[in-house]
Structure 1
Amino acid sequence: MRSLVSRRAVALVTTVCAGLALTGSALTPIRATAAPADACPAAESVTPATGRGTLAAEPVRLRTLSADEVRTALAKARFTSALVRYGVELCRLLYRTVDAKGRPTVASGLIVLPRNGDRRPRIVSFTHGTQSYKEDAPSIGRDDFSFAPAMTFGAAGFAAVTPDYLGLGKGPGTHPWMDVPSETTASLDMLRAARAYMARRGMVPQRRVLVTGFSQGASAALGLARALQNGADRWYRLGAVAPISGGYAFRDAEIPALLAGQEIPSKLAVAYTAYLLVSWNRLHHLYDSPDEVFQAPYADKVERLFGGTTPGQEMLAALPDRLYGDPQQPGDQPPLLTARGLAMLEHPTGAFAAALRVADGTCTGWVPHAPIRLYYAAGDEQAVTANTDHCRAAFRASGVNLTPIDLGPHDYEGSRHLGTAVSGTAAIVDWFTHLSA
């Protein structure tokens, strides 16, 4: 997961297993080179709804960069620039998809094309880590960390496609966090929209999609990979899959770590627990009123804090430092959870248990027929290592013998978890390049 706040506040909040980014640092404007004649137009007029994956508006050009300007942008984001071969063009797509209930809606996403004249590009789907603030989405371009992976893939010669997910970026409504089914449909329909956009440019993407994602996006990547393998699209097929630092086992790994208060910092545990309960209550009706699971004064705030319009630092300031605990002394800050809220996490039942089975099913019950790698880092302070252990065991039970790849102790501004997004992206660019050779 990404951080709930700016990457400069990772000591306070980064991610639980998906990649939260509740606030982003503004990208220093970079001088754009002149766009080619066939560049995406800078307009966004919505057209009547038709089928899933069709463009709902004219694509919006965000920027066009030379190779040197890409190196500058990646250096600012603290991603490696050693893999840059080409300049890139970044565009936002608004496309038709379905919401978590299967109803028609629209979503946005980022496409990064290399400026190399390739009319049959290899396509990479990158699904990003957790975010709750709409403006931090990759296609908005305000948070350099959120679009740096797609820019890295694009500059290496791939057509990189990054969905914002439902409810983030220009998408309406709230984001259904850690809902793998809607992450999968949003990702699949973004690939279709990218194909439609590339057709306008006289380009035809190669059919085999190279799938990757970080934190929350790791689960989304596995959901997309399974869908592609199962023939969910008439054009695209699965080429390879390489998730990074996922929260694959909430019930058996992540939630116990949240409650234990040792591997995951307390403030992170509070933020991610609140996000999980609020988001899943919208989807699965876990409780009738927030005060059943959240203490005062947080019960009156949580819906707004995770409604998509609250920047991360503001959200963090409004939440407590403790997840649960004994009654406070007068004047002390109460913890987040009521006794019922704590019991729900300790002993999931009913709709909550059923939702956990879905979220925790990305590694179970299927055998990838394409190359697969799992990336992680020992000592990850958000997506604890037990998540990858459970995923490895699930694949082995299906007959897939995986040895996860430890990316090592490469922290990013104090976060081992965020560091895996940087080192993992570089490793996967290299692997995908060799697979495609």
Structure 2
Amino acid sequence: MTAQGTRAWLASDGFDAKAVRHGVDTFRLIYRTVDTRNRPTTASGLLVLPRNDARRLRTVSYTHGTASYKPDAPSTDPEVWGQAPGVTFAAAGFAAVVPDYLGLGLGPGVHPWKDVPSETTASLDMLRAAKQFAPRTGRTLERQVFTTGFSQGASAALGLARALQEGQDPWFRVRAVAPIAGAYDFKGAQIPAMLRRELHPKMTVAYTSYLLTSWNRQHGLYKTPAEVFQEPYASRVEKLFDGTTPGQEMLKGLPDTIDELLTPRGFELLRKPGGSFARALTVDGEVCEAWTPRVPIRLYKVSRDEQAGTLNTGHCRIALSRRGVDVPVVDLGDHAYGGSRHLGANVAGTARAVRWFSALAA
């Protein structure tokens, strides 16, 4: 797209086009990575490059929010929503690297939802693939990487930043981190908020179902779905989250409230996590608990977030402050997308992050 076309395209879905300086070219990359058990596999992702004269590009890694249907990943989504953040960063002059994660887009298998270790390896390997591909377009990627992401992708952005700071790649180095509306603390903030019925009832049902079915595949939470899900949902819930069911059909196949979804055993599992579930929740929370960022970091949130409880951001800030890191929390205001404050955070947060990254890169 030309710069003019890019502005019109972003504005058509409510995304801020003020940062657009260039037209863009988009590419879908399929690349080698590893699965949750460290076995070789492939994944796909979106690479967006600016149409300018720069031969060396600084890079933004953007990690996307929750998707349960394979085609809804950034590299395969025909709608503006899935590609808009990557296009925004590229139109501002960055190379935008947007992984689909494992099992989404054109990746084989089922997506391991909310699994930060595999989100991190998929993101890091997507950066490596982009670095290898860029010279075919006459470009090279500089070492500095700005990491950002929305919702599920907020934790993924922190996981990638941690890996880059620890030197897990010999070339790339993290420059700044800007997670948006994340659910960083499932154990201490997100699950309790869902159980207190403080968040959107239907989305609570969807996230609870996705969490239990996905983590059962990885961590063995139950032997049969009927242990934790009531019928008729126990018979269909795993199919709804195997990547083949469009999002709206998935929502129609689930009840409206968590009380209709879970059995007493399901509620007990969430209220008192133990064993492999507790260990997995600890790993999930380590994006804020287990490392000390040495680069600029900002946490973006919206008040009264109806999907990712705002307490998640507060807990992450406190955890990082205990490690001596001063983390500004930026409230994005009352920007809604499709009636959702949570989704609106992606639109508003992308606009704020691109301005901050551009100032840091100047």
Q: Shorter-normalised TM-score: what interval?
A: over 0.9
The residue that corresponds to 2:53 in the other structure is 117
1:314 aligns with 2:249: yes
Amino acid at match of 1:435: L
**1:304 and 1:76 mapped to 2: Cα distance?**
34
Question: What is the deviation of 1:412?
Answer: 1.4
Of 152, 168, 172, which residue of structure 2 is paired with 1:236?
Answer: 172
1:364 aligns with 2:289: yes
**2:338 and 2:247 mapped to 1: Cα distance?**
17
TM-score norm. by structure 1 comes to: 0.82
**2:256 and 2:332 mapped to 1: Cα distance?**
30
**2:230 and 2:264 mapped to 1: Cα distance?**
9
Of 392, 399, 411, which residue of structure 1 is paired with 2:324?
Answer: 399
Pairing 1:322-401 to 2, within 5 Å after superposition? 322-324=257-259, 335-401=260-326
Of 161, 175, 179, which residue of structure 2 is paired with 1:225?
Answer: 161
Question: What is the deviation of 1:69?
Answer: 1.1
**1:113 and 1:141 mapped to 2: Cα distance?**
18
| Higher share in helix | 2
Pairing 1:97-176 to 2, within 5 Å after superposition? 97-176=33-112
**2:16 and 2:337 mapped to 1: Cα distance?**
12
Deviation string 1:307-350 (CA, Å, 9 cap, x unpaired) is 001001111111111212xxxxxxxxxx1111100100011111
Pairing 1:412-431 to 2, within 5 Å after superposition? 412-431=337-356
Of 20, 31, 34, which residue of structure 2 is paired with 1:84?
Answer: 20
**2:290 and 2:187 mapped to 1: Cα distance?**
17
Of 243, 248, 254, which residue of structure 1 is paired with 2:190?
Answer: 254
Amino acid at match of 1:315: M
Aligned residue for 2:67, secondary structure, equals coil
Deviation string 1:119-150 (CA, Å, 9 cap, x unpaired) is 10110000000000001110013232111000
Aligned residue for 2:288, secondary structure, equals coil
Conserved 8 A contact 1:120-1:205: yes
1:303 aligns with 2:238: yes
Conserved 8 A contact 1:92-1:110: yes
Question: What is the deviation of 1:200?
Answer: 2.1
Of 198, 205, 217, which residue of structure 1 is paired with 2:141?
Answer: 205
Aligned residue for 1:370, secondary structure, equals coil
The residue that corresponds to 1:49 in the other structure is none
Question: What is the deviation of 1:215?
Answer: 0.5
**1:347 and 1:181 mapped to 2: Cα distance?**
23
Amino acid at match of 1:188: L
**Which blocks of at least 5 consecutive residues in structure 1 are unaligned?**
1-64, 325-334
Of 285, 293, 297, which residue of structure 1 is paired with 2:220?
Answer: 285
Conserved 8 A contact 2:297-2:328: no
**2:202 and 2:145 mapped to 1: Cα distance?**
37
Q: CA RMSD in A?
A: 0.8
**2:291 and 2:95 mapped to 1: Cα distance?**
27
Question: What is the deviation of 1:367?
Answer: 1.4
TM-score norm. by structure 2 comes to: 0.99
**1:318 and 1:207 mapped to 2: Cα distance?**
46
Give the 4+ runs in structure 1 shifted more than 6 A. Answer: none
Deviation string 1:164-206 (CA, Å, 9 cap, x unpaired) is 0000000000000000000000000000000000022232111
The residue that corresponds to 1:7 in the other structure is none
Amino acid at match of 2:71: E
Question: What is the deviation of 1:372?
Answer: 0.8
Question: What is the deviation of 1:300?
Answer: 1.0
Conserved 8 A contact 1:209-1:236: yes
Amino acid at match of 2:276: A
Of 287, 294, 308, which residue of structure 1 is paired with 2:229?
Answer: 294
What percentage of aligned pairs have identical amino acids?
Answer: 60
Question: What is the deviation of 1:394?
Answer: 0.4
Moved more, 382-391 or 363-372: 363-372
- Number of aligned residues: 362
Aligned residue for 1:83, secondary structure, equals coil
The residue that corresponds to 1:51 in the other structure is none
Conserved 8 A contact 1:137-1:143: no
Aligned residue for 1:303, secondary structure, equals helix
Aligned residue for 1:360, secondary structure, equals helix
**1:356 and 1:76 mapped to 2: Cα distance?**
39
Deviation string 1:63-119 (CA, Å, 9 cap, x unpaired) is xx1111111210122101111111100110000000011000000000000000211
Amino acid at match of 1:200: R
Amino acid at match of 2:231: A
1:274 aligns with 2:201: no
Conserved 8 A contact 1:107-1:172: yes
Conserved 8 A contact 2:300-2:330: yes
Aligned residue for 2:184, secondary structure, equals coil
1:178 aligns with 2:103: no
